Amino acid sequence: MMQWRVLNTGIENAAVNMAIDEAILLEYAAGHVPPTLRFYGWQPAAVSLGYFQRGTEEIDLAACREQGISVVRRLTGGRAVLHDAELTYSLVVGEHEAGIPATITASYCYFSQGLIAGLARLGVAAQMNMPRSSYGQGERRPPHTSAACFDAPAHYEITAAGRKLVGSAQVRKQGVILQHGSLLLRFEPRTLASILQAPTPEKREALAGMLAARAIGLEELLNRKIGFPEIFASMLQGFDEVLDGGLVQGRLTAAEQGTAKDLAATKYSQDSWNFRR
């Protein structure tokens, strides 16, 4: 049975959050830490750009500044995510560890089972978004129509009530998988639309309406407030089921903390990284 270290690093700013994920990846690649499952939150709110996104073309940076929303670039691909009222998870594990599926899509499917199991403990009937070949005749997966991650689910991402609930992205470096994703506690489509580039106010209003129809938060599903501690406990139990009970509470090592501090200062808080494209 593979043993996973579990980290709850709490609420941090955008640069620190992305720096910690990379620091764990680097320390794992060096053989210094075990496979790691991390949970965290964001303050202040932030937009994370996918690695290949052109931020200045797709994000309204002036609107972000006006609203106090930070901007950071992820190591992983995909589209922009507004991180605010959410629980974020990240997984760091070797591509060739026993039990880890070899392909990106298969590993997405595997890790998504942990998310679904955790959501089930909250009474949420969530599903994986299946590849097109698994759709019924005449069914089509909604296409991306904006720069936002939550305007359509990718394969094996999580939906509930027909709307996207969890958005995830993955990168593989030095034989190591880093996957992280956002589980929405509340979804604010107007706020997200307000920081995306739109040619007219009418187009932005239409974008907000489209996002509202395609994504959903836990509080809307459950019809009640839910906090970080409750969802953390549920997701931890869900992953414990899927990862065969090999979870052990841990903490960041001194080396990880030092590397994260350096990366936050020299990379993830710098325009040279965040707006490199």
**Candidate list 149, 165, 210, 221, residue with the active-site label:** 149
- The type of residue at 51 is Y
64 among known catalytic residues: no
SS3 for 248? Answer: strand
State phi, psi for 19 to the nearest 5 degrees. Answer: -65, -40
138 burial (CB, 10 Å; 0-12 / 13-18 / 19+) is exposed
Query: Three-state SS string across 102-150, please?
Result: CCHHHHHHHHHHHHHHHHHHCCCCCEECCCHHHCCCCCCCCCCCCCEHH
Q: Which residues are catalytic?
A: 149
